Amino acid sequence: MKKGFRNYLLSGLVFIAILVIWKVAVMVLKTPTHILPPPEAILFRFIKLIETSVLQKSVLATFEEILYGFSSGAALGILFGYILAKLPVLEKALSPYILIMQTAPKISLAPLFVLWFGLGILSKVVLIALVTLFPVMINMILGVRSTEKNYYDLMKVLKAKGWQVMVKLELMNALPYLMTGLRVGLVLSITAAVIGEMMGSKAGLGFLLILGNEMYDITLLLTVIVVISLLSFFLDIAMKKLQEKLLFWHESTVR
Amino acid sequence: MSEIIVDVKNVRKIFTSGTKKERKEFSALEAVSFTVSKGEFVSLLGPSGCGKSTLLKIISGLLPASSGVVSISETGTKKAPPFGFVFQDSVLLPWRTAFDNALFPFEIMGSKEKADEARVKELFGLAKLNGFESSYPRQLSGGMKQRVSIVRALSYNPPILLMDEPFGALDAITRDNLNNVLLEIWESTRKTVLFVTHSISEAVYLSDRIIVMGTKPGRVIKEVPVNLPRPRNEDVKLTPEFYASVKELRELLK
């Protein structure tokens, strides 16, 4: 407990140090505001964006895309992952394509999706689902495959039905792998959402970035970048907490 | 002796490997026959590669025999098999507590009565696991995990207990302890036990009868009765009769 507090204190000091260096640098170098604004400008802009409720709307729009995209991508990843894990023939047949899709930068499809699915939420949801799908699917395959033969023997001795083997053994066994895949997928989701919005949209944090860029508004750009970082940070923490809650029995959570 | 519960007749097991053109056949078991009577403790003893584990898997239905018949006169219930199976590893589900692991068979069978839970509780006492009901497998030692898996195998009160080198992965001291725990459980439940091991002294200490198996191909060399008095404790290991049995088996396995 005490050690944890000290760690927080140290992290806080580092944060303050960065702000001080930033502030001093701006003052000494006399950089114009449109190149590098002082740190407090970010704070003031942040407050202003909240007062005009621009920020809330943008965060909400991005969050909504992530919610739909991530959950549908994760669901498909779990489903396809399980099917491929149970059908090695299918996996072998598809493996070169899966590999290509997995290694290809799916973000590069963003302009295409905007053309196909429009400037609205759908193009981002599809992009996010796609980037989430792969890490979830690959980890799901690994997780289901890693079920040891002994456990199948146990289920067979107990005359377990197929669905019982799936629900009570394979899915539980895959859970640690799946959670890793979901965490990777969530981080990728945020990137995909922002890039998708930058490619063409009418709302969201990526839209604000484009706005800031076109108006040479460095303060707006930096403020939005900070907000995006915070959003990623808190989503990852939420995911980590969920992981620890679900995997309390697993070696990875033993402290 | 009394009624025959497990009857193994002319069981052969041939494993094939290689491609379709060049099929290699390996005879794991060659015409194995023996019987086990009700309440008897029988060990299958032999070096690795003699097919003793394969034989146990055939008896339990985990593997099909290439030819021959295994008949088990106890039918069990429609939902539960007539035997409990203890693996070499404990095969506990890591996301369940020790007690929930022991109750796992009921969840698969979809029926659990109050008496069942009481019996599992009692078995926990017999296995000296009191106080560890809510521990997770990773918090338990190897010996304790194996005791939980024995309790699980007995949870639904099957008449037969099949054990596949259950203590093979444990250190010698833990192994001796678990042998005593197993004897105590056996004395109070009087299950029919078929026990696979490669330890001569373990087989002598536990069994009423030992089926000695040899390799290439896996086969029964001889059946050796053990006439040591019951109930047994560690002292029996110091008697000349115990030594005589161990010596006889050692000669057979040379």
DSSP letters of B168-209?
Answer: TTS-HHHHHHHHHHHHHHHHHH--EEEEEES-HHHHHHH-SE
Lowest mean pLDDT among A3-12, A190-199, A200-209, B100-109: A3-12
* pLDDT at residue B65, rounded to an integer: 87
* pLDDT at residue B77, rounded to an integer: 64
Do A155 and B93 make contact, defined as CB atoms within 8 angstroms? no
**Which of chain B's residues have a Cβ under 8 Å away from the Cβ of A153?**
57, 62, 85, 87, 91
* pLDDT at residue B5, rounded to an integer: 85
* pLDDT at residue B76, rounded to an integer: 64
Do B60 and A154 make contact, defined as CB atoms within 8 angstroms? no
| Among B33, B37, B15, B32, residue whose Cα is nearest residue B24 | B15
The token pair at A115 is: 């053309």
What is the per-residue DSSP string for A163-232?
Answer: HHIIIIIIHHHHHHHHHHHHHHHHHHHHHHHHHHHHHS-SSSHHHHHHHHHHTT-HHHHHHHHHHHHHHH
| Among A195, A62, A187, A91, residue whose Cα is nearest residue A132 | A187
* pLDDT at residue A226, rounded to an integer: 93
A103-107: average pLDDT: 85
Inform me whether the C-beta atom of residue B94 falls under 8 Å from chain A C-beta atoms.
yes
Distance of CA B188 to the CA centre of its chain: 17
| Among A185, A189, A184, residue whose Cα is nearest residue A204 | A189
Q: What sign results for the dihedral spanned by CA atoms B92, B93, B95, B100?
A: negative
Inter-residue contact A72 to A125 (CB < 8 Å): yes
Q: What sign results for the dihedral spanned by CA atoms B168, B171, B177, B180?
A: positive
User: Across the interface, which of A150, A157, A164 has its CB nearest the CB of B60?
Assistant: A157
Do A168 and B91 make contact, defined as CB atoms within 8 angstroms? no
Confidence of residue A254 (pLDDT cuts 50, 70, 90): low
Q: Domain segments of chain B: what residues?
A: 1-74+189-254
Is the pLDDT at A2 greater than 70? The verdict is: no
Largest CA distance in chain B: 59
The token pair at A185 is: 């997928």
ipTM over 0.85: yes
Dist. CA A79–CA A85, nearest whole Å: 10
Tell me the angle at which helices B172-189 and B142-154 cross, rounded to the nearest 10 degrees.
Answer: 20
* pLDDT at residue B95, rounded to an integer: 94
Is the pLDDT at A68 greater than 80? The verdict is: yes
* pLDDT at residue B78, rounded to an integer: 64
Beta-strand relationship, B192-197 and B41-45: parallel
A108-133: average pLDDT: 92
Inter-residue contact B191 to B155 (CB < 8 Å): no
A208-221: average pLDDT: 92
Segments of chain B with pLDDT less than 70: 1, 75-78
Dist. CA B221–CA B253, nearest whole Å: 9
**Which of chain B's residues have a Cβ under 8 Å away from the Cβ of A150?**
87, 89, 91
* pLDDT at residue B81, rounded to an integer: 86
Side chain identity at B46, as an amino acid letter?
A: G
The C-alpha of A248 sits at a distance from chain B's nearest C-alpha, in angstroms, of 8
* Rounded (5°) CA angle B170-B176-B179: 95
Is the pLDDT at A1 greater than 80? The verdict is: no
Q: Which of residues 87-106 of A touch B (CB under 8 A)?
A: none
The C-alpha of A168 sits at a distance from chain B's nearest C-alpha, in angstroms, of 9
Tell me which DSSP letter residue A87 carries: -
Is the pLDDT at A231 greater than 90? The verdict is: yes
Dist. CA A165–CA A147, nearest whole Å: 11
pLDDT digits (tens, 9 = 90+) for A16-66: 999 999 999 999 988 887 888 989 999 999 999 999 999 999 999 999 999
Query: How is the beta sheet containing B4-17 ordered, strand by strand?
Result: B24-37, B4-17, B67-72
The C-alpha of A95 sits at a distance from chain B's nearest C-alpha, in angstroms, of 24
* pLDDT at residue A36, rounded to an integer: 87
CATH 3.40.50.300 fits B1-74+189-254, yes or no: yes
* pLDDT at residue A210, rounded to an integer: 94
Do A159 and B94 make contact, defined as CB atoms within 8 angstroms? no
A251, closest residue in chain B (CA to CA)? B138
The token pair at A41 is: 């400008």
Do B138 and A254 make contact, defined as CB atoms within 8 angstroms? yes
- Which residues are CB-neighbours of A184 under 8 A, at least 6 positions away? A135, A139
Inform me whether the C-beta atom of residue A164 falls under 8 Å from chain B C-beta atoms.
yes
